[in-house]
Amino acid sequence: MKHFSTFLLIFSLLTANAQQVITNIPGRHLFTLNGKWHYIIDPYETGYYDYRYKPYDESKHPSGGFFLDKHQTSKSELIEYNFNTSPGLIVPGDWNSQDNKLLYYEGSIWYRKLFDYKKSNPKHRVFVHFGAANYEADVYLNGQKLGKHIGGFTPFDYEITSLLKDKGNSLVVMVNNQRKRDGVPTLNTDWWNYGGITRNVDVVEVPETFIADYTIQLKKGHLNEIEGMVRLNGPKKSQKVTISIPEIRLSHTVITNAHGVAHFTFPVKKLVLWSPENPKLYNVTVSAATDSVSEPIGFRTIRARGTDILLNGKPIFLRGISIHEEIPIRGRRAYSKEDAQLLLGWAKELNCNYVRLAHYPHNENMVRLADKMGIMVWEENPVYWTILFNNPETYTNAEQQLTDEINRDKNRASVIIWSMGNETPIGKARNNFLRKLADHARSLDSTRLISAALQFHGDTIPHHLIVDDPFAKHVDVVSFNEYVGWYDGLPDKCDSITWDIPYNKPVIVSEFGGGAVQGMHGDTLTRWTEEFQASLYKHNLSMLSRIPQWRGVSPWILCDFRSPKRLLPFIQDGWNRKGLIGQNGTKKKAFYILQKFYKQIEQQEKK
């Protein structure tokens, strides 16, 4: 029992140290570690055993596993691995798309990157920052373990100041993408389980006392008042900090307390509000005596009033589409600015003013580009389907991922909705789980809307569908997924459906859709044809237009995407075919149906 307690203590300390410390990474002085990393496939986790094959004991060896960057020092020494002669993977990137034998691989891979780095100032501090690694990552520098991060879609960093050398640093990362029953997400998902270091890795140099975090947004319900917080990290915690927006000649100074924190509220005049029509961003600078950082920030308000969604106090309809973090024409996880431009460019071509980033936090390039392009964003915590809702550790995992997501993107004007999850089965444990997450999200950020993709059930009366979910009482926007015409009857069934939604709240239909193979044609009753999918869209859009409180929609989905659940030969072949754009990048007929519908709504709103 004593041994187990020691292990838990060490594990909790490592895990607690594995969250993001620094906000606004793109605004920092960065040294990229992107590029080729050598890797060792380790399905049996041999790297956690010594040469005598004794199980690894973290309480006795807190520095880490045995696949560190060792070199043979004599001709007789036995070392049964060699990073130098091992193959390479490109970081950022998933391993599945880079090596055919890794396409379906779920397990551990050890990465190694050698680098030199000399600080620009001897008093500066240095961190290594990961945009994400799926799903668990154990990180070591120069033979010492920095910590473990759990969660495949959120950023994390570690301070490496005391371990860093000017020459010959060895960064080793063990990444494991195995699905787990108590994980978030859990075992069963409907997307490809991409493994690897899937987002940027950077060395970040900051002053000894630096601006670690800040929030700068319009105060909830106010168009002429800015509210926020700033937090310093380092020995000189009590300082004057100035928040300035030079374009409007605004400057406000606060003094941080003994913990390095200051909260502020100040009036602002002549502020051009961010909107899809005019995505205005201001260069905002936060300056202290020891550090200064800048980034483009937009200012807007978003709230629900009755059955309306109000952007900057005016009703708006969310013309949306759901998106996975995948580039189908490149057959891999999306990660770059160019990937974001392609996906969001397609959404703009569709006449969208809104996207749902499903079913997990996407890379930061997406939300930063959405800020510039004027696209509102729904971000989602990966609480998906049958999570272990009665498991406290699972809840802690979900809450931490939600926290990391909000902390990263809280200054993005484009982000208007935090989603607590997708298609979760109703039950007491689940209801409490989601309610606690919603309360936690509001405690971190009260300025955005809370929702979740819910489900509905049928009545004893034929064609009468009811949205009746206890969690709907705790959201600002009632959202649900429906697949009438695909999983429920044929497209013309939509014509006779009546919806019962007993909430005086705005409604977003977070999903509807059906599959089609791009280039496969037939009549409107032949499954998998573009004509069937186009007919399904026409009937669904007509049906949804009859819902009085309907205020937005994000059909499923922009592009075909990989999924091991989709097995139908010559049709699916490991792809979910519900995309409006095929895996080859070609638009299907339904793309133009939705494009025309959104254009009509846009024109009506301008009248």
Mean pLDDT confidence for 89-115? 97
Q: Which residues contact 542 (CB under 8 A, 6 or more apart)?
A: 494, 495
- Please check whether the two domains, 17-206 and 210-300, share a CATH topology: no
Residue 51 has pLDDT above 80, yes or no: no
Residue 288 has pLDDT above 70, yes or no: yes
CA atoms of 161 and 150, how far apart (whole Å): 23
- pLDDT at res. 607: 77
Residue 16 has pLDDT above 50, yes or no: no
Element (H, E) at 265: strand 261-267
Mean pLDDT confidence for 219-231? 96
Q: Phi and psi at residue 157, in whole multiples of 5°?
A: -150, 165
Residue 204 has pLDDT above 70, yes or no: yes
Average model confidence (pLDDT) across the chain: 93
| Residue 499 structure tokens | 């919806």
3-state secondary structure 195-247: CECCCCEEEEEECCCEEEEEEEEECCCCCCEEEEEEEEECCCCCCEEEEEEHH
CA atoms of 58 and 491, how far apart (whole Å): 57
| Residue 374 structure tokens | 């004027």
Residue 285 has pLDDT above 90, yes or no: yes
Cα angle 130-131-136, degrees, rounded to a multiple of 5: 70
| Confidence (pTM) | 0.94
Please answer whether residues 554 and 598 qualify as being in contact, where contact means their C-beta atoms are separated by less than 8 angstroms. no
Residue 235 has pLDDT above 70, yes or no: yes
| Residue 49 structure tokens | 């055993």
Class of domain 306-514+533-558+590-606: alpha beta
Residue 252 has pLDDT above 60, yes or no: yes
Mean pLDDT confidence for 274-288? 98
Please answer whether residues 375 and 276 qualify as being in contact, where contact means their C-beta atoms are separated by less than 8 angstroms. yes
Residue 112 has pLDDT above 50, yes or no: yes
Question: Within 13 Å of residue 470, how many CA atoms lie on the same side as its CB?
Answer: 12
The residues pairing with 244 across neighbouring beta strands, listed in sequence order, are: 251, 285
**Percent of the chain surpassing pLDDT 90:** 87
Mean pLDDT confidence for 282-300? 98
Strand ranges in 423-466 using DSSP code E only, listed in sequence order: 449-454, 457-458, 464-466
- Report the sign of the C-alpha dihedral through residues 314, 315, 319, 321, in that order: positive
**Percent of the chain surpassing pLDDT 70:** 94
Report in angstroms the alpha-carbon separations of 187 from 43, 106, 119, 149, 451. Answer: 18, 12, 43, 19, 24
Question: 18: pLDDT confidence band, cut at 50, 70 and 90?
Answer: low
- pLDDT at res. 65: 55
- Report the sign of the C-alpha dihedral through residues 511, 94, 201, 437, in that order: positive
Class of domain 17-206: mainly beta
- pLDDT at res. 584: 96
Question: 59: pLDDT confidence band, cut at 50, 70 and 90?
Answer: low
- pLDDT at res. 552: 98
pLDDT tens digits, residue range 304-329?
A: 999 999 999 999 999 999 999 999 99
Q: Phi and psi at residue 4, in whole multiples of 5°?
A: -65, -40
Cis status, amide bond into 417, omega within 30 of 0:
no
Residue 58 has pLDDT above 90, yes or no: no
- Indicate the domain borders of the chain: 17-206, 210-300, 306-514+533-558+590-606
* Residue reference for tokens 């193959």: 87
The residues pairing with 205 across neighbouring beta strands, listed in sequence order, are: 29, 126
DSSP state of 54: P
CA atoms of 446 and 205, how far apart (whole Å): 32
- pLDDT at res. 70: 76
Residue 8 has pLDDT above 80, yes or no: no
Mean pLDDT confidence for 169-180? 96
Please answer whether residues 143 and 68 qualify as being in contact, where contact means their C-beta atoms are separated by less than 8 angstroms. yes
Mean pLDDT confidence for 493-517? 97
- pLDDT at res. 188: 95
CATH superfamily of 210-300: Immunoglobulins (2.60.40.10)
Please answer whether residues 452 and 422 qualify as being in contact, where contact means their C-beta atoms are separated by less than 8 angstroms. yes
Q: Which residues contact 539 (CB under 8 A, 6 or more apart)?
A: 485, 491, 492, 493, 494, 495
Residue 52 has pLDDT above 90, yes or no: no
Residue 484 has pLDDT above 60, yes or no: yes
Residue 4 has pLDDT above 60, yes or no: no
Question: 71: pLDDT confidence band, cut at 50, 70 and 90?
Answer: confident
pLDDT tens digits, residue range 395-435?
A: 999 999 999 999 999 999 999 999 999 999 999 999 999 99
CA atoms of 329 and 405, how far apart (whole Å): 27
Q: Which residues contact 406 (CB under 8 A, 6 or more apart)?
A: 418, 441, 444, 445
- pLDDT at res. 498: 96
Please answer whether residues 233 and 212 qualify as being in contact, where contact means their C-beta atoms are separated by less than 8 angstroms. yes
Q: Among 47-61, 279-293, 498-512, 566-580, which stretch is predicted with the lowest mean pLDDT? A: 47-61
pLDDT tens digits, residue range 255-271?
A: 999 999 999 999 999 89
Q: Which residues contact 67 (CB under 8 A, 6 or more apart)?
A: 40, 42, 46, 47, 81, 110, 172, 174
- pLDDT at res. 63: 45
Q: Which residues contact 145 (CB under 8 A, 6 or more apart)?
A: 14, 62, 63, 64, 138, 139
CA atoms of 316 and 601, how far apart (whole Å): 10
Mean pLDDT confidence for 463-474? 95
Residue 53 has pLDDT above 80, yes or no: no
- pLDDT at res. 5: 35
- pLDDT at res. 6: 34
Q: Among 12-26, 443-457, 513-527, which stretch is predicted with the lowest mean pLDDT? A: 12-26
